[in-house]
């Protein structure tokens, strides 16, 4: 039984309308008639805050329904209808999308507010907020879409906004290239998504192409088709959510403004892939082998990017690799059919990673856009609010009990053990230790010890209230969000898992209490080892290291960019030049030139007929009409 | 009987065409066009008589009205052309040459 609710359509519409209004205001403004930043800021914050209120309403409405009937939907209009393909612009909310909706609109609201402070003085202040609102609208279409096609609209839309915002400071060529890279790499993933969608439609799309019909018809699919569809969709997810082999764009995406990194490249957009896998859990749960591929890809990505993270010297790059690494955990979770654990990690990660990025933004803002952690140090006294909130975020990321990250990460690791995948569990624990190490390496280098650059240190100052308040709110979230899904062993009720249960086709592996205690114990030990090593090395000041051997290799991210350049970009360019310098002039140009020659010759002949005297044209007319009459009289006979 | 009228109409029409094609003076060309229109009118009226209906005659009246309007417009154009070039020879106006 489905409930209809027209306000669902309003949720994506509000930010899109906001983007249009702000964009038009920005385009129509000139140097002298510019609106004040305050006006733009207030206009921009209306849409996210209203959508957050709507998100609460969606949650409450769903909560009011009986567990089995927790679905509301709204069909705005028929988008297109060709043969069997009948796609409606419809929106659909169930427990899974309502949870996504809540934290997306919540973090988006806070980051919009924070951006008012961070972007102050920017020349194109209005444009920034137009893009940010547009992003939110697209993200909400992605989350609320009632089928793969509508989801794909949002999927591409957020990709576009990501591109626009990465190359936001477009005076610098490097930023534009980073934007291009993100866009092109995502396109490879999108190809997988489109193909997956096409196969799915070809197999069972005829009788309805929305999630509900697909779920009902999933049993008609052969397991080969499901595997193929799931693999192709996962390729899409690796692009959007930065997994091996398509993760290379995310670190470069840090070229964008820091609030963008927090919102798009940490909290919301990059988790779209995890959301998509969870959304298609009714397919993924039928093919455990593909699930294992997903899980192993995830955990290997987590490992590799954690290694990179340990050697970076740009504060945002450290956080970027940690995002890739945490996304790896999420995929390990959903790959092992522990969908609610994966989504719960998405949920807590949104809080603490947005917090860390906004904190990093505050540090960068205080140091006049210095991002190198080797030029920071001792900022604890200068930026107390940033320090304490970031410390909470770091503890949550590193998985320190009882912060939120501990519970969500531990849930995934425990389930890896419970489903009989000790390999994934071992790597996961290792990565947990590495996470603690690189997170606290960053914290110690930035906030502890003595200042490395006295000039920068002297000018540092705490950010304005409009930036610190979102930090504090997010810190509260990072601290307590884990309590929402407290496992039974700590006396909790796993509220989030129970809430999500109707949306997900989840397996519930049985495991002993000893396994659970082993998983928790290992995580805690890994955390303490990581933080201890970090403290020993960086706790009381450290000099800029000279990387050699493996460290240098890791610092250059295993030279993976160079490898891709060598294996993919260069051959591609070589094919391009081969076509330009050989194929085109030698092969195709001939026939093409021949047709132009033919037209030119015909033109020369027909030109003779055009004498320019009206009476000659009259003769042509008479001849033509006579012939037509003749033909007509012939055919009438 | 009807055939006579139609033959006369065709002869007049062909004379008109001949005039348009062979003559170079703008006024003669113009008069030839009028001749063609009136040849058509003659055919209309003859056939209207044959079918004993008024349709053909109504059309003939319409053609006359249009011809009058066209004459007014065409004469104005001719005057402008004459002012512009000082000639009435159609061969002078050969801007359509490709």
Q: Do B96 and A617 make contact, defined as CB atoms within 8 angstroms?
A: yes
pLDDT band at residue A298 using 50, 70 and 90 as cut-offs:
very high
For the CA atoms of A362, A365, A369, A371, the dihedral, rounded to the nearest 10 degrees, stands at: -20
What CA–CA distances, in Å, run from A300 to A242, A325, A438?
12, 9, 17
Q: Which two tokens stand for residue A502?
A: 């109707």
Return d(Cα B55, Cα B70) in angstroms, integer.
Answer: 22
Query: B83 and chain A: CB distance < 8 Å anywhere?
Result: no
Chain B residues in contact with A614 (beta carbon < 8 A): 29, 90, 93, 96
* Shortest Cα distance, chain A CAs vs residue B24, angstroms: 8
Q: What pLDDT, in 10s, does the model give residues A56-102?
A: 999 998 888 888 888 888 888 888 888 878 888 889 999 999 999 99
Query: B24 and chain A: CB distance < 8 Å anywhere?
Result: yes
Cβ-Cβ contacts under 8 Å between A and B: the total is: 32
Return d(Cα A77, Cα A87) in angstroms, integer.
Answer: 9
Q: Which of A612, A619, A622 sits opposite B94 (nearest CB)?
A: A612
**Maximum Cα interatomic distance, chain A, rounded to a whole number of Å:** 109
Provide the pLDDT for residue A1: 39
Structural domains for chain B: 2-91 (1.10.287.3510)
Provide the pLDDT for residue A516: 84
Q: Which of B90, B97, B98 sits opposite A615 (nearest CB)?
A: B90
Please report the ipTM that was assigned to this predicted complex: 0.84
DSSP A161-176: HHHHHHT-STTSHHHH
Reference A139, options A14, A285, A38, A235; nearest CA is A14
Provide the pLDDT for residue A279: 92
Q: Do B96 and A614 make contact, defined as CB atoms within 8 angstroms?
A: yes
For residue A2, pLDDT beyond 60 = no
Query: B72 and chain A: CB distance < 8 Å anywhere?
Result: no
Q: What pLDDT, in 10s, does the model give residues A156-205?
A: 999 999 999 999 998 899 999 999 999 999 999 999 999 999 999 888 87
Chain A residues in contact with B23 (beta carbon < 8 A): 615
Alpha helices by DSSP H, A448-512? 454-459, 465-480, 495-500
Q: What pLDDT, in 10s, does the model give residues A515-527?
A: 888 888 999 999 9
Mutate to test the interface with B, among A609, A612, A629 (most CBs of B within 10 A): A612
Q: Which of B17, B90, B98 sits opposite A614 (nearest CB)?
A: B90
Reference A133, options A120, A153, A156, A115; nearest CA is A115
Chain A residues in contact with B29 (beta carbon < 8 A): 614-615
First to last CA, chain B: 48
Return d(Cα A451, Cα A74) in angstroms, integer.
Answer: 57
Q: Which of A607, A612, A619 sits opposite B96 (nearest CB)?
A: A612
Q: Do A614 and B93 make contact, defined as CB atoms within 8 angstroms?
A: yes
For residue A20, pLDDT beyond 90 = yes
Q: What is the mean pLDDT of residues A547-565?
A: 84
Query: B28 and chain A: CB distance < 8 Å anywhere?
Result: no
For the CA atoms of A186, A188, A190, A191, the dihedral, rounded to the nearest 10 degrees, stands at: 170
Reference A264, options A120, A153, A165; nearest CA is A165
pTM, two decimals, is 0.80
- Torsions phi, psi of A76, nearest 5? -75, -55
Residue-averaged pLDDT of chain A? 89
Q: Are A617 and B93 in contact (CB under 8 A)?
A: no
Q: What pLDDT, in 10s, does the model give residues A418-441?
A: 888 889 999 999 999 999 999 999
Chain B residues in contact with A607 (beta carbon < 8 A): 98
Query: B94 and chain A: CB distance < 8 Å anywhere?
Result: yes
Q: Are A236 and A192 in contact (CB under 8 A)?
A: yes
For residue A220, pLDDT beyond 80 = yes
> Hey, how many other C-beta atoms are within 10 angstroms of the C-beta on A298?
33
Which positions in chain A have a beta carbon within 8 angstroms of at least one beta carbon in chain B?
607, 610-615, 617-619, 622
- Lowest-confidence segment of A3-7, A192-196, A477-481, B91-95 by average pLDDT: A3-7
Q: Are A334 and A284 in contact (CB under 8 A)?
A: yes
- Lowest-confidence segment of A16-20, A271-275, A495-499 by average pLDDT: A495-499
* Shortest Cα distance, chain B CAs vs residue A610, angstroms: 5
Q: What are the residues whose beta carbons fall under 8 Å from the beta carbon of A301, sequence distance 6 or more?
A: A242, A243, A244, A247, A324, A325, A327, A328, A331
- Lowest-confidence segment of A97-111, A467-481, A492-506 by average pLDDT: A492-506
Q: What pLDDT, in 10s, does the model give residues A565-611?
A: 899 889 999 999 999 998 888 888 889 999 999 999 999 998 888 88
Chain B residues in contact with A611 (beta carbon < 8 A): 94, 97
For residue A30, pLDDT beyond 90 = no
For residue A149, pLDDT beyond 80 = yes
Q: Do A615 and B17 make contact, defined as CB atoms within 8 angstroms?
A: no
Chain A residues in contact with B96 (beta carbon < 8 A): 610, 612, 614, 617
- Which helix (H) or strand (E) segment is B59 a member of? helix B55-85
| Sheet with A72-82: strands ordered across | A3-4, A72-82, A85-93
Q: Do B96 and A610 make contact, defined as CB atoms within 8 angstroms?
A: yes
- Lowest-confidence segment of A4-8, A172-176, A224-228, A359-363 by average pLDDT: A4-8
- Torsions phi, psi of A89, nearest 5? -80, 85
> Hey, how many other C-beta atoms are within 10 angstroms of the C-beta on A64?
9
* Shortest Cα distance, chain A CAs vs residue B74, angstroms: 15
What CA–CA distances, in Å, run from A281 to A226, A335, A577?
11, 10, 44
Strand, coil or helix: A503: helix
Return d(Cα A551, Cα A549) in angstroms, integer.
Answer: 6
Chain A residues in contact with B21 (beta carbon < 8 A): 615, 618-619, 622
Q: Which of B21, B24, B95 sits opposite A612 (nearest CB)?
A: B95
Query: B29 and chain A: CB distance < 8 Å anywhere?
Result: yes
Q: What is the mean pLDDT of residues A547-555?
A: 83
Return d(Cα A512, Cα A519) in angstroms, integer.
Answer: 11
Provide the pLDDT for residue A587: 87
Chain B residues in contact with A626 (beta carbon < 8 A): none
* Shortest Cα distance, chain A CAs vs residue B32, angstroms: 12
Q: Which residue has the tokens 């890809």?
A: A297
Higher pLDDT, A70 or A133: A133
Q: Do A611 and B97 make contact, defined as CB atoms within 8 angstroms?
A: yes
Q: Do B17 and A614 make contact, defined as CB atoms within 8 angstroms?
A: no
Q: Which of B17, B91, B95 sits opposite A622 (nearest CB)?
A: B17
Q: What are the residues whose beta carbons fall under 8 Å from the beta carbon of B46, sequence distance 6 or more?
A: B2, B5, B6, B9, B56
Q: What is the mean pLDDT of residues A460-468?
A: 87
> pLDDT per position in chain B (98 positions), as tens?
889 999 999 999 999 999 999 988 888 999 999 999 999 999 999 999 999 999 999 999 999 999 999 999 999 988 998 898 888 888 887 777 75
Return d(Cα A316, Cα A384) in angstroms, integer.
Answer: 20
Q: What are the residues whose beta carbons fall under 8 Å from the beta carbon of A309, sequence distance 6 or more?
A: A318, A321, A322, A325, A434, A435, A438
Q: Chain B: residue nearest A623 by CA?
A: B17
* DSSP classification of residue B48: H
Return d(Cα A631, Cα A130) in angstroms, integer.
Answer: 66
Mutate to test the interface with B, among A600, A605, A610, A614 (most CBs of B within 10 A): A614
Burial B53-77 (b: 16+ CB within 10 A, else e): eeebeebbeeeeeebeeeeeebeee
Q: Are A612 and B11 in contact (CB under 8 A)?
A: no
Query: B27 and chain A: CB distance < 8 Å anywhere?
Result: no
Return d(Cα A351, Cα A480) in angstroms, integer.
Answer: 10
């Amino acid at each position: 039984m489905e409930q209809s609710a027209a306000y669902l359509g309003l949720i994506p519409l509000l930010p899109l309308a906001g983007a249009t209004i702000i964009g038009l205001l920005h385009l129509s403004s000139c140097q002298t008639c510019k609106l004040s930043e305050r006006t733009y800021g207030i206009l921009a914050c209306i849409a996210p805050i209203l959508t957050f209120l709507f998100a609460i309403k969606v949650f409450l409405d769903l909560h009011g329904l009986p567990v089995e009937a927790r679905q509301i939907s709204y069909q705005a209009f028929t988008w297109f209808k060709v043969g069997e393909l009948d796609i409606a612009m419809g929106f659909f909310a169930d427990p899974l999308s309502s949870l996504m909706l809540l934290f997306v609109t919540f973090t988006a609201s806070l980051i919009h507010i924070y951006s008012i402070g961070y972007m102050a003085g920017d020349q194109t202040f209005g444009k920034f907020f137009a893009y940010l609102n547009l992003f939110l609208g697209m993200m909400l279409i992605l989350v609320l879409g009632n089928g793969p096609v509508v989801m794909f609209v949002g999927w591409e839309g957020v990709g576009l906004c990501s591109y626009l915002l990465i190359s936001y400071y477009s005076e610098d060529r490097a930023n534009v290239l980073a934007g291009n890279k993100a866009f092109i790499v995502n396109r490879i993933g999108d190809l997988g998504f489109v193909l997956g969608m096409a196969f799915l439609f070809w197999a069972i799309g005829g009788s309805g192409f929305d999630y509900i019909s697909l779920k009902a018809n999933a049993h008609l699919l052969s397991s080969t088709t499901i595997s193929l569809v799931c693999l192709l969709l996962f390729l899409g997810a690796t692009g959007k959510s930065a997994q091996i082999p398509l993760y290379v764009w995310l670190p470069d995406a840090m070229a964008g403004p820091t609030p963008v990194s927090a919102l798009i490249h940490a909290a919301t957009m990059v988790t779209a892939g995890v959301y998509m896998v969870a959304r298609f859990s009714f397919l993924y749960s039928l093919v455990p082998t593909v699930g294992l591929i997903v899980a192993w890809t995830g955990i290997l990505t987590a490992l590799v990017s954690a290694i990179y993270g340990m050697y970076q010297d740009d504060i945002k790059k450290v956080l970027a690799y940690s995002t890739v690494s945490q996304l790896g955990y999420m995929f390990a979770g959903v790959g092992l059919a522990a969908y609610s654990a994966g989504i719960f990690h998405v949920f807590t990660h949104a809080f603490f990673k947005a917090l860390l990025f906004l904190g990093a933004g505050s540090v960068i803002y205080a140091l006049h856009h210095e991002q190198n952690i080797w030029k920071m140090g001792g900022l604890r006294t200068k930026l107390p609010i940033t320090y304490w909130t970031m410390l909470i975020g770091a503890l949550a990321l590193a998985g320190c009990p009882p912060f939120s990250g501990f519970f969500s990460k531990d849930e995934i690791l425990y389930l890896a053990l419970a489903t009989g995948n000790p390999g994934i569990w071992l790597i996961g624990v290792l990565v947990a230790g590495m996470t603690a190490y690189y997170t606290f390496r960053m914290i110690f280098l930035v906030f502890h010890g003595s200042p490395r650059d006295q000039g920068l240190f002297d000018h540092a100052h705490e950010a304005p209230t409009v930036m610190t308040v979102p930090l504090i709110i997010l810190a509260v979230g990072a601290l307590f969000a884990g309590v929402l899904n407290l496992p039974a062993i700590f006396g909790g009720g796993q509220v989030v898992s129970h809430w999500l249960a109707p949306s997900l086709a989840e397996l519930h592996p049985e495991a002993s209490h000893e396994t659970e205690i082993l998983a928790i114990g290992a995580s805690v030990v890994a955390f303490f080892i990581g933080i201890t090593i970090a403290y020993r090395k960086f706790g009381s000041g450290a000099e800029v290291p000279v990387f050699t051997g493996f460290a240098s290799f890791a610092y250059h991210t295993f030279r993976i960019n160079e490898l891709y350049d060598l294996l993919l970009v260069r051959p591609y360019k070589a094919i391009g030049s081969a076509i330009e310098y050989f194929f085109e002039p030698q092969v195709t140009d001939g026939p093409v030139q021949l047709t132009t020659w033919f037209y030119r010759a015909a033109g020369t002949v027909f030109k003779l007929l055009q004498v320019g005297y009206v009476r000659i044209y009259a003769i042509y007319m008479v001849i033509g009409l006579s012939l037509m009459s003749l033909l007509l009289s012939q055919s009438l006979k | 009987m009807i055939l006579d009228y139609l033959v006369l109409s065709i002869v007049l029409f062909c004379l008109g065409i001949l005039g348009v094609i062979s003559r170079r003076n703008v006024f003669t060309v113009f008069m030839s066009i009028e001749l063609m229109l009136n040849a058509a009118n003659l055919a209309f009226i003859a056939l209207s008589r044959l079918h004993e209906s008024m349709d053909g005659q109504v059309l003939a009246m319409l053609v006359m009205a249009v011809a009058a309007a066209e004459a007014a417009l065409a004469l104005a154009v001719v005057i402008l052309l004459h002012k512009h070039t000082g000639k009435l020879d159609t061969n002078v106006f050969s801007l359509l040459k490709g």
